[in-house]
Amino acid sequence: MDWQHNGVKIVPANDLDPNTAQTPGMARAAAITHARTGASKLWAGTVVVQPNAKTGPHHHGELETVLYIVRGRARMRWGDHLEFSGEAGPGDFIYVPPYVPHQEINALADEPCQAVVVRSGRDPVVVNLDLESPEPASPGRGATPFHPNPPPLPA
């Protein structure tokens, strides 16, 4: 085996790929993908969530998701009506099981939230849900946040 070319891949912090699905107020950047590293069973990257920004209600199909909070404070809502909520700060991990309806929110009004995200599949699965969030509207962002459908995968 040619371990030099088929072994460990190091992705420098300044070489993350911002060419991924975005949500207003959130900047995602891919680090570990099939195209970039040959990963076949996971995706990893970063997300920076601006103050008061949030996604719309969604789930990620059969994928499992882990978030590691680097700075700031993340609020998660989940459940059939987003009736449950919890918050995580620097050093905390969040686990989102498959098919769980959820919404990601920056819990702070004056500081970005930065996290590392890892998913158990390489495809960007996002299923938007027609649920009303109990989360108040963000100032200047309107009442309906959204989470865009990911771009189609290359053939």
Q: What is the pLDDT of residue 151?
A: 45
- What span, in angstroms and rounded, lies between the C-alpha atoms of 142 and 100? 25
Structural domains for the chain: 46-130 (2.60.120.10)
Least confident of 71-75, 111-115, 134-138: 134-138
pLDDT band at 64 (very low <50, low <70, confident <90, very high): very high
Average pLDDT, the chain: 86
Q: What is the pLDDT of residue 5?
A: 83
What digits encode the pLDDT tens for the residues 12-52? 999 998 887 777 788 889 999 999 999 999 999 999 999 98
What digits encode the pLDDT tens for the residues 115-147? 999 999 988 788 888 988 888 765 544 444 444
